[in-house]
Structures are given as structure tokens and as C-alpha cells.
Structure 1
Amino acid sequence: MALRPEFQSEQFQKGLEVRRAVVGDAYVDKSLNSADDMSAPLQKLVTEYCWGDVWTRPGLERKTRSFLNLAMLIALNRPNELRLHMRGAVNNGVTKDEIVEVILQAAIYCGVPASLDAMKAAHEVIAEMEKEGVLP
């Protein structure tokens, strides 16, 4: 894949490595390959700062960051990002049982409707990952 010139910085490459490890090559390739003049600056920002600066900090393990992302995305009602980060959470070692526990915790602090939507997303993502052979 030939990267756009703005995707060539060292910080972008650092973030790209983590982003690929967490959410997978297919998702990252699709995001970057579809970047145009309007969306490329956002892809650059997300990859450099989210993945390159924050996700690489030594203060938290990736699994812990995934737990936090799941909880925050449930609270913010962001189902598309939640599905993506559920996959990333599994890639970072979060189990199906732990995902259920996050959803139950969120039911108390974020509300039942948010947790019902999150459970629906979890069912979809887990079923997809089992079908793909990523999960037993």
C-alpha cells in the first residue's frame, strides 16, 4: 500500500503499528486507502496522536486501555467504534466473559439502554470473530 505523503512521518508509522496490532490490517487498510483530501487530515491525527502518542504510553497496558475504551464508548453511545474496539479488546486479551462484565458495569453507570445496545454489538462481533476463527 502506497501511503499518502502526509502519512510518512515517524509518529504516524509508530501509531500505525499499534493501530494495526489492535484493530487489524483490514480495517486500517480500508480507512487509509479511502482517505481523500477531506478525511486524510483526520486519519493522520487519529493515527499519530491516538495510536502513536496515547496508546504507546507506558502507564497502562493495552488490555486496560481496551477496557476503558469499551466503557467510554458504551457511555457515549458510539456503536460503530464500540464494535471496532470490541475486536481490538479481544486482540488485546480481553475475554468474552470480561466484555460481558464491562457491559454489566456500564448498565449501572451508563444506563440499561446503553448496555442493551452494547450487548447486541458484543453478540455480533463475537459471532463474526468465531466465524472467522479468531475466537474458539
Structure 2
Amino acid sequence: MSASRLETGLKVRRAVLGDAHVDRAEAAKTPFDGAFQQLINEGAWGSVWARPNWTLRERSIVTMALLAALGHHDELAMHVRATRNTGATPEDVSEAMLHVAVYAGVPAANHAVKIAKAVLGEEGRI
């Protein structure tokens, strides 16, 4: 079952983050972080992101809101870039940040909006 979850996780991770990102992560993997990479691939991508209940777009929106609320800025930027693959629109990102402002605080949303705006701007999507 673990190998299946790993394969599924890598497939979903590639679909969301892109082959280049996953290839870089896999190439940089060492004995030190191998178990961590396996955990991410099996747990986050193979167990949660692969579930049928929500679309990749819906998972993307929730993930960005959580990352913004928790102040995980590098991961937020990565997931804003991933919206190219998940179907979440710039409008979806903006709406998610409004929820962050109300439920997690304006300072968290303010910084997250700056990050999202920069990423989407660099990509010519806003």
C-alpha cells in the first residue's frame, strides 16, 4: 500500500507543482531528508491531495488560506504558482485572502496578498 500511495503522491504532486519542481526536490534528496520527502509524497500528496472529495482547485484554495494564516510565506508562493495547474484563478486567491483577513487577521492577509500579487504579477496573470 505504501508504494501505491507513494506513486499516487508523486503523480498528484507533479500535477499540482509541476515536473520541474518535483524533479528538483527528488534530485536534491539526501539520506538526511529522504524520509521527510517520503512523508510529504505519501502523506500530503498521496493521502490528502489525492482524495476524491475535493477538486485540486478546492484543495489549492484551502491550502493557500492555511499557509497565509500560518505565515508560511515560501510555501504560499509555491502554491500560488501552482494555481496555474490546479485551476484556481487569481480571483480565487484574492477571495481566499479575504477569508484569511477575517479569520486569521489583517496582518497575515496583508503580507500574503503582497506575496500572491508579486507571484501572479511575475507570471503576467494580474
- Per the normalisation by structure 1, the TM-score is 0.85
Shift of 1:33: 0.7
Shift of 1:90: 3.4
The one of 99, 102, 108 aligned to 1:105: 99
Count, aligned residues? 125
Shift of 1:102: 1.0
> In the alignment, what sits opposite 2:18?
24
Q: Secondary structure at the match of 1:67?
A: helix
- The 5 Å alignment of 1:82-121 reads 82-121=76-115
Give the residue type in structure 2 aligned to 1:111.
G
Shift of 1:9: 2.7
> In the alignment, what sits opposite 1:60?
54
Shift of 1:128: 2.8
Q: Secondary structure at the match of 2:64?
A: helix
Give the residue type in structure 1 aligned to 2:59.
R
Shift of 1:83: 0.8
Q: Which has the higher contact order (CA 8 A, sep 6+)?
A: 2
Q: Secondary structure at the match of 1:37?
A: coil
Q: Distance in 1 between matches of 2:123 and 2:37?
A: 25
Q: Distance in 2 between matches of 1:14 and 1:90?
A: 20
- The answer on whether the counterparts of 2:62 and 2:96 sit within 8 Å (CA) in structure 1 is no
- Stretches of structure 2 that go unaligned for 5 or more consecutive residues are none
Q: Secondary structure at the match of 1:9?
A: helix
Matched, 1:47 2:41: yes
Matched, 1:123 2:117: yes
- Using the aligned pairs only, state the percent identity: 38
Q: Secondary structure at the match of 1:38?
A: coil
- Per the normalisation by structure 2, the TM-score is 0.91
Q: Distance in 2 between matches of 1:83 and 1:22?
A: 13
- The answer on whether the counterparts of 2:100 and 2:108 sit within 8 Å (CA) in structure 1 is yes
